[in-house]
Amino acid sequence: MIFFIIILFALYIGWNIGANDAANCVGADVGSGKMSLKEGIIITSVFSFLGALLLGSHVTKTIGKGIVPLNRLEPHLGVLLALAAILGAALFVTFATYKKLPVSTSHAIVGAVAGAGVAVRAPVVWSKLGDIFICWILTPFSAALFSYFLYFLAKRLFPRLIPSAWQDQFLRVMILLTSAYMAFTWGANDVANASGVLVGIGRISLLPATIICAVAIIIGIVTWGYKVIETVGSGITRLTPLMVVVVEIAAAVNINLFTVFGIPVSTSHSIIGAVVGVGLIEGIKTLNKRIIRDIFLAWLATPLVSGLLAFFILKIVLLLK
């Protein structure tokens, strides 16, 4: 029964990841008018699954054992901690998706694991947590910087290198390719937010955990992914097709580098940072400062609120035992 509940909770957070983070892969594309919502959902579903399957193991190990060594805890306590962490993170992401705010599921699950660990005085690896937080801060800034300079060059070189008769078709193809790459890197990094604690408590091996959670992510994309797509696609700034290509290249390369080193970073931070970077080229007035403020506040709240939810959920469960 406990194992069945763990699987249900993992499916719930996987569904939340798909619902909130799908916008990171297709929001800009749909907003540009060069991709339909249906095309975006299909591309994201297929390539995020491939990314999770082929490259997801790197970050899964960090989530499962790098923050709180779940495999070293008393088995029953490790299971309760995993349940509290999953539920705490998932509840916050559900609320954020309802509000159409792109938040970090990586922040949510890492904060929730740490919060649940503190609740039972488990050995939280604060040095690893510190490294992750530093990378979280760097993620949007590095993506913004990369996209700023890349768009600065692309805006000047693109009209000279590509004949005007070919430009629309070229951008359409590039948007499809960069969207697929973005979805692949997202699946590789974010599947761990659902599967990491499953693997960490030793109740299920890496491959089936990855497949189960990847399927849940796809269901989230299809059923509720549209909620945040509008915010990313047009809420921050109006994106031209060339801007979209630059944004997705910058964000995907950024995420890919962190994934190779096994660091769970935020695709939301990366894509939003890249969107702001290209928006700055067009001028600060083109950016919706209210939306950016709301997103930033949600980012700050994500690990803290998720951690507090997991902390109190676990404390209540232990009191009721």
pTM: 0.86
Q: DSSP alpha helices (H): ranges in the chain?
A: 2-32, 37-55, 57-61, 75-98, 105-119, 126-161, 167-190, 192-200, 206-224, 226-230, 241-260, 267-282, 289-320
Whether residue 157 has pLDDT greater than 60:
yes
* Contact (Cβ atoms closer than 8 angstroms) between residue 200 and residue 71: yes
Whether residue 64 has pLDDT greater than 60:
no
C-alpha to C-alpha distance for 84 and 315, rounded to whole angstroms: 9
Which residue's structure tokens are 């798909």? 18
- Mean pLDDT, the chain, integer: 87
pLDDT at residue 219 in the model: 93
Q: How far apart are the first and last CA of the chain?
A: 16
Confidence band, pLDDT 50/70/90 cuts, at residue 261: confident
C-alpha to C-alpha distance for 142 and 162, rounded to whole angstroms: 28
Per residue in 291-316, pLDDT (tens digit) is: 999 999 999 999 999 999 999 999 99
Range of the domain at 148: 2-320
Could you tell me the CA-to-CA distances from 63 to 69, 199, 217 in Å, in that order?
9, 9, 17
Domain count along the chain: 1
Q: Own/partner pairs for 75-80, CB < 8 Å, 24+ apart?
A: 75/201, 75/202, 77/120, 77/122, 78/200, 78/201, 78/202, 79/2, 79/6, 79/201, 79/203, 80/120, 80/314, 80/317, 80/318
